[in-house]
Amino acid sequence: MATIGYMRVSTHQQKFDSQQRALEQYGVDVIYKEYESGRKKSRSELNKALAHLKSGDTLVIFKLDRLSRGTKQLLTLLEEFDRKNIHFVSIQNNIDTTTPMGRFFFTVMGAFAEMEAELIRERVIAGLTAAKENGQQLGRPPRTKEVEKALKLYCSSNLSVPEIAKKCNISVPTVYNHIRKHNLLNKPKELVSNTSKHGS
């Protein structure tokens, strides 16, 4: 079973000294060094460390903020470790998922993540409901000008519906929906064109 160390600083001017000493004292087999912001989701050395880890291995870091500056990304990584049976140690935070206390920490973090996701869902639903009650139209705004242009082309040209949709930058189903809505689908083109001219 391998013990992988990961350490990170934000710039090349910063030093790894305290992190490296702690990881070496812990007894890691290999250390991945990263010069990147902790807020960056994809980091080359972290990706290498994660790719190196296999079931039963341990990832060791100096502090939680070395792994991630955001709670969401941290929780995602911890969930991935749990799913792949990878142990996790944060030296300064006294977290070790091979111990009962470490597993308790993971359970609590998971519960907070679930609660946060549920609160976000509730806020979104409440916002949508309030908007609907206030008469606000939800979803994409209607593309009235494009639809009108499409119907005019359908009535007065020999273009096919896909050609009209492309020309007006709207989807084929949208064009057909409005053709049906205006009862133009089964009318001969000549009749539609003449009706359109007399009505204008």
| H/E element, 89 | strand 87-90
Dmax (CA) for the chain in angstroms is 89
pLDDT at 139: 59
**Residue 154 in tokens:** 């359908």
pLDDT band for position 48 (cuts 50, 70, 90): very high
131-157 pLDDT per residue, tens: 777 776 665 666 788 888 988 898 888
pLDDT exceeds 50 at position 108? yes
Write 41-46 long-range contacts (CB < 8 A, 24+): 41/73, 43/8, 45/6, 45/8, 46/6, 46/8
Return mean pLDDT, the chain: 82
Higher pLDDT, 89 or 158: 89
What is d(CA 87, CA 119) in angstroms, rounded to the nearest whole number? 29
pLDDT exceeds 90 at position 104? no
Q: How many C-beta atoms lie closer than 10 Å to residue 159's C-beta?
A: 14
Active site residue 160: no
Query: How much of the chain exceeds pLDDT 70, in percent?
Result: 84
| Pairing status of strand 95-96 against strand 87-90 | antiparallel
Catalytic residue, chosen from 10, 42, 68, 157, is 10
pLDDT band for position 75 (cuts 50, 70, 90): confident
Residue type, 95: I
For the chain, domains (ranges, CATH) are: 3-100 (3.40.50.1390), 144-199 (1.10.10)
Angle between helices 189-199 and 144-156 (to 10 degrees): 120
Which of 56-60, 63-67, 133-137 is predicted most confidently? Answer: 56-60
